[in-house]
Each structure stands twice: as C-alpha cells, then as structure tokens.
A = this chain, B = another copy of it.
C-alpha cells in the first residue's frame, strides 16, 4: 500500500438499475438477514431512465466512512449500511492502480475508510423503488473497488441485506429472487431468468400518481402483514410457488397473455394482504383504482390482455405493454383520462423514451386536449377526465444490470479530495 498520509484517492463509479416485481415480495421470515417468505420475480428497468449512480472512493486520508445521498450527507451508522460494508470488506482483495502506482493489500481494507456518493436519476419522493437501485449500486460498486471475486449471485445476497429487493437489481432482464432454505441466508439470492435481449418488445409506462398521503414504509408494513394477516401464509406457501413457476414459463415463452394475467393477479393479491393487515395498509388510491379499471376494461374489450399492471408499496402504476403499438394506444388512453394541469410542459409530463409520444400522435399539449375517448368508452357515458391526478409518465423498457462507468467525468466524488463535486 502507498504510504499513509499520502494524498492518493482510488475510486470507482457504478450505475445500477431499479426493478419492478411482477411476482411480489411481501413478508420476511428473518428480519435481520432480510430473508423472504416467498420467491419473487422482477423486470429490471432501463438504467437510462431509472437508476442509481454511486461513486465509492478510498484514501488513507479519509478518517471515517462517509456517505452522501443526492448531495446531502447521511449517517452510515444504520445496521443495513454497516452490514453491506462489513460483508464486502470481508471479501476484499489486493488492488493495483497502475496509473497512480498504488497497491492496496488485502489486509489494508480493514483499516481504510471509504467515501460514498450516490444519486438517483428520478425523484426519490415519487415512491419508485429507490432503495433497491441504491443498495444494489452501493454493494456492486464497493465490490468493484475492493476487487471482490464472488459472483453476482453472492454479491446479490449481500445487497439483499441492505434492502431485500436490491438483490434483484444485480442483473438485467428478468430476475428471480430465490427465497432459499439456509438459516444464514447464503442461498437467498438473485438468479437471472433471461437477460435484457430475451424479450425486447416489452414497453413499460410508469404513471407517477399524485398523492399527499403518508405511506406505510414497506419494512413496517410487511412486518405487520406477517404478524396479523390471516391470508399471508396461504399466499406465501400455496399461491406464490405456483405463480412463480408459471411466470418463469411465461417469460421463457414470451407469452404476454399469461405474463399479464399473473402480474395483475399478483399485484392485486399483494394489495389484498395489505388490506388484510391490522391496521389495514392502503397503498393504492382512487387514481390507482381508475388506472386498473381502465386497463381491465380495455383488456376485456379486446378479449386478450393489451397491458399488464403492477403496483408496489405506493399509488404509482407500472404498466407493461407487449409492443410499441400497444404502448402508444395505452399512452393515448392514459393521456385522455389523466391529462396534465394547465401549466405543465409536455416535455416534463411524459419523460424517458419520448418516442412513444410520436407513435401515439401526441406532439403538443393541444393534442392531449383533443384526444378522442377510447373506443371501449364511447358507448358508455359518463367517461371522466381526471386532470392532474397523474403527476407525470415515464416511458421505459427492460434494461441491463449494473455497470462500471469508465467516463471519469461521471464520478460523483472529486478525484483529489474524495469529497462530493
């Protein structure tokens, strides 16, 4: 190792995607190790639109571990952060930085401190799974910095201890979190079912729903469900195992009808067990219900599923279409029913892959105003438009897993001081 007191900083920047479960994780069998009561399956979302970027740096000049989240320093003392740091440090290996002429020996890692800076390219307040992307990125990037040799599955098992669903963000494409059997959690980890090139036609549209409601955190929510719901055990032990194997098959066969049926049913059942909790937990609101009704009505009128929906621990809808054509028809329907408030720009109302807007024939706010009611509504008065009930839409797709960013300008820490830029 380069001599103590010298000013060198070695750092790595990584980017990790978020993911959306289509077979839901809800309930732990071990709170400390974050071991779930059932398997779950997720889609990794394109990091271009929804991801965490994290820079981790090490230097002999750092006097303690520190972390900044979205530019603000936060304490690292929490058990979840400590576990991730400890587990990665344990597996650290020798690192050589040839450009700087630095060699960090395996045993040095125990006394060297790190600086961590992380930010999300989407609003954390939006209730999208920011902790999944964040912990996946932290663990992945630390593992790169410390030259950890364990495979991604083992790394995912460490990320799991930061935030359960984070383990699924270690892979791109379609991912299963196997609940595992071991009491130490060593086999509770992510397995890639198929990578992001397997089923490229899928289009994901997220409706970020306006809400002033304070939400129950998923940690306390799932604890209360496990303790009080009379249905959760039956769900976890009897219903989910069948759904997991059917969902694996649907993904393998790119069978959208089965995929949609399973995803919708499992989202609804997750919210059903939340409602069966004492006191009951409501994550969906009237706008969420209206989005479901819109999709169900459309799917019913077409006789085959056009769209799958799934909702996590909040009111936002994640809508999955089998192809761009259907996604454009979906976006028309969403914009018809949930137009923006008057002072909104189209460019901030539909974000992400905006090319879907062109497919939908919407290039200006005026185009939204003049949208025709969907055919499945035409006969049935009254249809209603709920202005402002959706804050904005994010158009995205299934994407790749974590990556190291080699472009040094993307680093979040200064390469000289090791402090946030």
Residues of A within 8 A of B (CB): 212, 230-231, 234-235, 238-239, 261, 264-265, 268-269, 271-273, 275-280, 282, 285-286, 289, 292-293, 296, 300, 384
Contact at B279–A300, with CB atoms within 8 Å? yes
Interface CB pairs A-B, < 8 A, 6: A230-B238, A268-B280, A272-B276, A279-B293, A279-B296, A280-B292
Whether B276 and A269, one on each chain, are in contact in the complex, defined by CB atoms closer than 8 angstroms, is yes
Taken together as a complex, chains A and B put the C-alpha atoms of A293 and B384 apart, in Å, by: 28
Select which of B268, B286, B384 is within 8 A of A285 by beta carbon.
B286
How far is it, in angstroms, between the C-alpha of A292 and the C-alpha of B285 when the chains are bound? 14
Closest to A232 in B: B231
Complex Cα distance A30/B276, Å? Answer: 26
- Give Cα distance in the complex from A280 to B263, angstroms: 13
Counted per complex, copies of this chain come to 2
Residues of B within 8 A of A261 (CB): 278
User: Using Cβ atoms and an 8 Å threshold, which residues of chain B touch A286?
Assistant: 285-286
CB distance from A275 to the nearest CB of B (A): 4
Expressed in whole angstroms, the minimum distance between the Cβ of A224 and any Cβ of chain B is: 11
Q: Say how far A19's CB is from chain B's closest CB, in angstroms.
A: 23
Q: How far is the CA of A234 from the CA of B232 in the complex (A)?
A: 11
Contacts of A275 in B (CB 8 A): 268-269, 271-272, 275
- A278-B268 contact given A231-B231, A231-B234, A231-B235, CB 8 Å threshold: yes
Residues of B within 8 A of A278 (CB): 261, 264-265, 268
Which of B235, B265, B276, B293 sits near A268, CB closer than 8 Å?
Answer: B276
Enumerate chain B residues within 8 angstroms of A293, measured Cβ to Cβ: 279, 282
CB distance from A412 to the nearest CB of B (A): 34
Q: Hey, which chain B residues are within 8 Å of A384, CB to CB? A: 212
Q: How far is the CA of A276 from the CA of B269 in the complex (A)?
A: 5
